[in-house]
Structure formats: structure tokens, C-alpha cells
A and B are shown apart, each in its own frame.
Chain A
Amino acid sequence: MTIRSARPDRGQHFRPRMLCLNKLEVIVVEMQDPKSGVTGSEQKLNVTTIPHVFAGKDIIAWIANKMKTPPEEAHVFGTMLVAFGYIYPLQNHKMLVMCNDTSLYRFQAPYFWPTQKWVADDSDYAIYLAKRNIRKKGMLEPYEQAHYNHLHKWLNHKWDFIVMQATEQYKAGKERKKPDRVVFDCQERAYWILNRPPRRTHSAMDCGPERLIDPNEDEKISFDQYRRKNMFYQQAIMRSKVKSSVSLGALVKYITTYKTHDPFLAPCQPSNPWQTDNDTYWTLNMRGVDVPTKMRVERWSFSLFELLTDLRGRDDFKVFLKKEFSGENLAFWEAAEELKWGTGSSMSAKAETIFKTFLAPGAPRWINIDGRTMGLTVKGLDHPHRYVLEAAQTHVFLLMKKDTFFRYLKSPVYKDIQKKALSPETHNFSPAQLEQNAQNRSPGIHPIILWQQEEEEKAKTAAASAPVDVKAMMSKIDRKK
């Protein structure tokens, strides 16, 4: 039931990355040629024979011949034809792959082709499920039953229509001859396995959000667009670029450092929550966890940036700095971050406090930056904006990186936490357990609770890191003497 209005439709309707469908259609039509196409045979069921079945190896041989590619590529192409739904397998109908042997395939009706415009509709799926319900006398597969219940709830206003239409389509289908009925059922089933795949199956129809522009349309580039393109390219030529030897070297270094930490390249310990629906990985790597995982601790040693961006690492660094009584650098860096990311109204107040605490001569937590930067920053603080502390912040960051960071890595604090760090075992779920995991997914911690925890943390750190009065400390030490 589409809601119509008199206004023109400016919505986003075009699926990206589906341009290949037009080209595939041409190839499928060429395959039908009685002389130069693929040769078919007949399929014998109980008493009926149904024509137009094709063996997988025949199709792959035809593709290899036509496109002049090696058989492996033709095999992949064949699998794509099946995965997009132009050809469907008769045996093992849930696996949408093309096998290079005598397994049988048939072509899908043009009505069921995955064209760009007609997306598989939920109400159509509901009608199909109702029809299947009638044929199977109530025994739908579990994922189908789940879909059915869901659609019954959300399409409830149309449910009468769906039931009526399903019974009518079923009755009309019985008017056809038996072989045609069998073929029609197979076609519909293949179409819906493609468009509503069962759990944990990969679907070729996965594409991103829909776009505004029709990719099948020819683009007409105007004179003004050409002019702008020329300007852009001319400016791009004049920019100075990094030599590829340098940038590629940096890329190689990055890859060698991070390759064990990338969840695409190395298995995630204990298990990737997106694949196994078990969120131990996330709970072990939370911000406020007592004992971090070994991978996390190893990541802190890569660079100071990694250490500071991971909030748990930052806490650990703070503990170390407290022991060394050199926490003002990090405190200044954090305050500058707060100024950068904070609200506009609080900026002048924050700038004041930062000046008083860190930059004024004789301040309680005076940071040691060079004279020129100090001068620039103090002048800038008269009219504070977000990036007024950028120069000082970078300087402090470099100081920390060159000096404190390496001391931290050699310190007993770090070594201690390295020893304590957890190394969780890889999960090994059986398919039944995976199903159960999928059904028992919890919504996780409520964001309000997380926010409250963060507020408590902030209050604690604010109380703990009240400016350490250097003079008071010095006097205490003097008194001890």
C-alpha cells in the first residue's frame, strides 16, 4: 500500500553496485539461442518429465567458450549467475553456487529476475509464505516461521488481503498442468531463497543504502562540470606529493605492526561477536575493565597515540605519571582536548582555568614549553577559540612521546599489567550453539548506565588530580628533612 501524493517522487530508489545486472541479462538471453546457446535435457520426476534442465558443467563450458576465459573464471561467473538469481539449482536449492559437474540447473523466469527497479516486496513475501503454509500444511522452516510471525504483526492491516490473495493464487495455480506447477513452485522458492536468505547465509543481493541517481542512466556532463573538473585537476597537479617509496614504506610498516590486530586478517579473540553473536569480546574490552586483554596491552606499545586514544590505556599511563610526579603534561593535553571538543559556551571559562592552572608563570601545574609557543598561546588566549592551544598541545604531545612514553614502556607499571593481562581462549561453537546464541542476543548495557559510569569516573579523576601544589609538596619534603 504505497502512500501516494501529488508531489513528484524525489526519493532514493536505486541500488548501487547492481549495474552488472543489465549485462548479465544479455548473457542469459544469449544462452537461450537454440543453435549457439547451452544445450538442455529433460528432467524425469515420478511420472512427469520437465524439459529445459542444464548441467553445471555444460553452462561453465559455454561461458568459458563465449567469454574466452579460463575455466576457473567461468566457474566463478557461473556462480555469480546463480547467486544473482538468473539460474537456480534443482538439487540442494539452498546453496546458491554453480558446481562444475552434472548437477542440474534451470533458468529463472524474467518476472523473477533481480532487476534494478523491482525490489522484493514484503507483502509479496507474506503472500508467498501464506501459500507455502497451505502447501506444507503449517510446517514452515524455522526462519520462514519467524518471518511469517513478524510479517503477521507488522502487515496486520493487510493480512486479510494477503490470506485472500494467497488462497486465490494457490487455486489459480492448480489450473495449470502438473509439470508447470512444479516448475512454478521451484521458481518461486528459488526467488525467495535469494531475496530472503536464511540465517547466516551470504547473499549476493547485499548492497548498501539506496541512491538517488539511476546508475543505468547515461550521465550527461555539462560544460560547467567540465570546467570545474579541469580546475580541480590543474590544482591537484600543482600540489606537492609524498614520494610513493616513502608512503608505501609507511604503509608496509603499518601493516606489519597491525596485521595481528585486524579482525579481518586475524581471528578475533575469543570470537568475533558479529559472527558468533557472543559479546565476550566487547565486555572484555570495555573502558572500565580491571584487567585488559593481552592484545589491547600490546596495542598500547605501538605508539603514544594508541595509548592515549584507548581510555583504559590512558588511565594506566596516568597511574605511571602519578608515580613520576609528571602528570601535568597529560593533564594539559586532556584539557586541550576538552577545549577542542567541548561546547562553544564553555570555551572561555575553560580557557581561563587552563591558563591559570598550566600556563601562567608560577602556576601550580606549569608545563615546560618553549618561549615562542608560550608567547603565542598566551596571546591567543585573549580571544580563545577551539584551536588556540593547538601548538602547545602538539609540543606537549611530542615531549611525552619522545621521553615519557618510552620510560612508561620500560616501567614496572607497564610490565606488571602485561603480566596480568588476560588471553581469552577461542570459542568453538557448534551450529546448534550458534543458533542459540543468535536467539539469546542481549541488548547490552543501557547507554544511560554507561554515561553515569563515565560521569563518576570524571568526578573521581577531577577530585584526584586537583592541582598538585608544587610549593606544598616542596615544603612537605623540607619538613621531612
Chain B
Amino acid sequence: MGKEECKTMLDALNKVTACYRHLVIALGSTSDSQNLREELKRTRKKAQELAVANRTKLTSLLKDKTISKEDRAEYERLWVLFSSSMDLLEVDMKRSLEIGQEFPLKVPTRHLIQTGMTGSTTTVAARAMSVQNMKYEADSNVDTADLRDLRSEITQVSQMMEEMEMKVQVAPWAVEAKQEAGAELKSNMSVGNSSVGVISICEEEPKEEDGAGGRDTGFATICAVAGFVIIVFVAVVLGYLVINMS
């Protein structure tokens, strides 16, 4: 069905937009590198392909006058999702152009901002491109040709957005959201995996939050230590009995 296709494509666009944002934030900092610029380029291209596909699909669906009211409302909601994604993408692209121009890579004295981020963003880009490993090409003119391409891509995106607004008559403020407040808490995420991350981040926060986090972790470590001690004790007792027996 058209709706399911649309939804999967929008999910993909959403994912790519989120990854692109993570990549742009790393620009200009110490985790900036040739690889990052290439990752940005590839993610951008993927985003554009998805955007064009989404746009054609949604415009064809919305232009169809023979759909029911609920369907139309649903398509309008998907349309709002799509255009918000595109807005975010466009802003991120413009910002990456600015920051890319400010922090060129191929100059003899690079002054990248020491933000504390030193890791690579390969995994994020791989997530965006839906591949297992990223392979890089050694592109040498990352400062000039790449930025030129970026400028043309930005103009392409802006033109596409303008066309969209002109052709499709959707009132964005009339759309009602399906999710209520706090919906993100109920989404299916592996919250258990993130507990380690939560603990270390809590340490950077002021005393009262640290206390709360510390209390939880303290309890967990006490349990673990107690369990360990019990097991050792049982092992020692059994060993003693075995030695006594033999």
C-alpha cells in the first residue's frame, strides 16, 4: 500500500537526517577529518535521493482527489513529517557549508576546536548509509570541490522545497499529532543498554543528581559484590568439606 511505503521511506529519511546532524556537529572540532567530510557528502547524497523519492510519492498521493478524508489527513500528516525533515536537513546543510568554509582542512596550520571529541564518526555514517563498514576514497580536493558541490546541493534542496510549497496545498497547522506528550518514553528502545552511559554522564552533573545516580549504582554494586562474596564463601565451604571428607 502506498501508505506503508511512504512510512518506511520517511523513516529512512528521518534516520539519515538524524545521522547527518550528528556528523555536522562534529565538524570543525578535533574529530573533524577527511573521512568526516566524505561521510557528510555521502550522507547528503543519500538524503537527497530519499527526499526526491519521498517527494514524488507524496505529491502523487496528495494530488489524487479520490481519496477519503481520513486518508487525506494521514497523508497530510506524512507531508508535515517530510517537510519538517527537509527543513532540518536544509538548515544542517547550510551550517555545514559555513563551518566547512571556516575550518578548511588542507591548510598548513589547522586550528580545529578542541572540543574533547576525538573518536571517529564512522559508525554513525554507516548507520545512515545502512551498510556494515564504510569504505573511503582518498579525495584530495575536499575544501574546494566538495564545498562547491555542497552549495549546488543546497540550492537544489531550496528549489525543491519551494516547488513543494507551491504545488501542494497542505495547511501544516491543521495537522494533529498522533503521539501524545511523553510518547518517546514508550517507544521500543533498549533502555537497559544505555544504563552504563547514564551512570558516567550523571557524574558530570551537580551534586544532587549525582547523589541520585550514585545511590542506584551503589545499590547495584553492593548487590554484585554481595553475590560474589556469597559465591566465594560457598566455594570455600564446599572445598573445606571436600578436603575434610578426603
Task: Give A contacts to B, CB under 8 Å.
Answer: 1-6, 28-30, 32-33, 40, 43, 45-48, 50-53, 90-94, 106-112, 115, 117-118, 121, 123, 130-131, 133-135, 137-138, 148-149, 152, 156-161, 163-187
Whether the Cβ atoms of A172 and B199 lie closer than 8 Å is no
Whether the Cβ atoms of B83 and A163 lie closer than 8 Å is no
Q: Smallest distance from the beta carbon of B92 to chain A beta carbons, Å?
A: 9
Whether the Cβ atoms of A157 and B173 lie closer than 8 Å is yes
Chain B residues in 8 Å Cβ range of A1: 80, 83-84, 87, 172
Q: Smallest distance from the beta carbon of A124 to chain B beta carbons, Å?
A: 8
Whether the Cβ atoms of A163 and B187 lie closer than 8 Å is yes
Whether the Cβ atoms of A158 and B80 lie closer than 8 Å is yes
Whether the Cβ atoms of A134 and B117 lie closer than 8 Å is no
Chain A residues in 8 Å Cβ range of B35: none
A29/B118 contact (C-beta < 8 A), A1-B83, A109-B26 known: no
Chain A residues in 8 Å Cβ range of B184: 130-131, 133-134, 163, 166-167
Chain B residues in 8 Å Cβ range of A4: 161-162, 165
Within the assembled complex, what's the spacing in Å between the Cα atoms of A160 and B176? 9
Which residue from chain A places its CB closest to the CB of B103 in the assembled complex?
Answer: A110
Asked if B129 is an interface residue, CB under 8 A from chain A, the answer is no
Whether the Cβ atoms of A45 and B204 lie closer than 8 Å is yes
A183/B115 contact (C-beta < 8 A), A130-B184, A173-B22, A176-B22 known: yes
Asked if B18 is an interface residue, CB under 8 A from chain A, the answer is yes
Asked if B243 is an interface residue, CB under 8 A from chain A, the answer is no
Chain B residues in 8 Å Cβ range of A90: 204
Q: Which positions 179-219 of chain B face chain A at CB distance < 8 Å?
A: 179, 181-185, 187, 189, 191, 193-194, 196-201, 203-206
A161/B189 contact (C-beta < 8 A), A28-B113, A93-B205, A149-B181 known: no
Within the assembled complex, what's the spacing in Å between the Cα atoms of A107 and B119? 16
The contact of A109 among B28, B127, B198, B206, by CB within 8 Å, is: B28
Whether the Cβ atoms of B176 and A110 lie closer than 8 Å is no
Chain A residues in 8 Å Cβ range of B81: 160-161, 164
The contact of A175 among B84, B85, B123, by CB within 8 Å, is: B123
Whether the Cβ atoms of A45 and B200 lie closer than 8 Å is yes
Within the assembled complex, what's the spacing in Å between the Cα atoms of A179 and B117? 7
Q: Which positions 47-78 of chain B face chain A at CB distance < 8 Å?
A: 77
The contact of B197 among A50, A138, A171, A174, by CB within 8 Å, is: A174
The contact of A111 among B18, B95, B187, by CB within 8 Å, is: B95
The 4 closest A-B pairs by CB, nearest first: A159-B177, A110-B28, A168-B18, A52-B114
Whether the Cβ atoms of B91 and A47 lie closer than 8 Å is no
**Most chain B C-beta atoms within 10 Å of own C-beta, residue among A30, A48, A160, A166:** A160
A163/B162 contact (C-beta < 8 A), A1-B80, A93-B205, A138-B185 known: no
Whether the Cβ atoms of A111 and B27 lie closer than 8 Å is yes
Whether the Cβ atoms of A109 and B118 lie closer than 8 Å is no
Q: Which positions 119-173 of chain B face chain A at CB distance < 8 Å?
A: 119, 121, 123-124, 126-128, 161-162, 165-166, 172-173
| Number of residues from B at the complex interface, CB < 8 A | 78
Asked if B25 is an interface residue, CB under 8 A from chain A, the answer is yes
A182/B201 contact (C-beta < 8 A), A165-B17, A167-B187, A176-B123 known: yes
A29/B111 contact (C-beta < 8 A), A1-B83, A164-B81, A187-B25 known: yes
Whether the Cβ atoms of A182 and B181 lie closer than 8 Å is no
Task: Give B contacts to A, CB under 8 Å.
Answer: 11, 14-15, 17-19, 21-22, 24-31, 77, 80-81, 83-85, 87-88, 91, 95, 98-99, 102-103, 109, 111-119, 121, 123-124, 126-128, 161-162, 165-166, 172-179, 181-185, 187, 189, 191, 193-194, 196-201, 203-206
Chain B residues in 8 Å Cβ range of A32: 111-114
Whether the Cβ atoms of B115 and A52 lie closer than 8 Å is yes
Within the assembled complex, what's the spacing in Å between the Cα atoms of A47 and B21? 28
Within the assembled complex, what's the spacing in Å between the Cα atoms of A46 and B221? 14
**17 A-B pairs with C-beta separation under 8 A:** A1-B83, A5-B165, A52-B115, A107-B116, A108-B113, A109-B26, A112-B25, A133-B182, A163-B183, A164-B11, A165-B84, A172-B15, A176-B22, A176-B121, A178-B200, A182-B204, A187-B115
Within the assembled complex, what's the spacing in Å between the Cα atoms of A186 and B115? 10
Q: Smallest distance from the beta carbon of A440 to chain B beta carbons, Å?
A: 24
The contact of B31 among A45, A46, A117, A180, by CB within 8 Å, is: A180
Whether the Cβ atoms of A160 and B114 lie closer than 8 Å is no
Whether the Cβ atoms of B111 and A33 lie closer than 8 Å is yes
Which residue from chain A places its CB closest to the CB of B126 in the assembled complex?
Answer: A175
The contact of B165 among A3, A47, A109, A137, by CB within 8 Å, is: A3
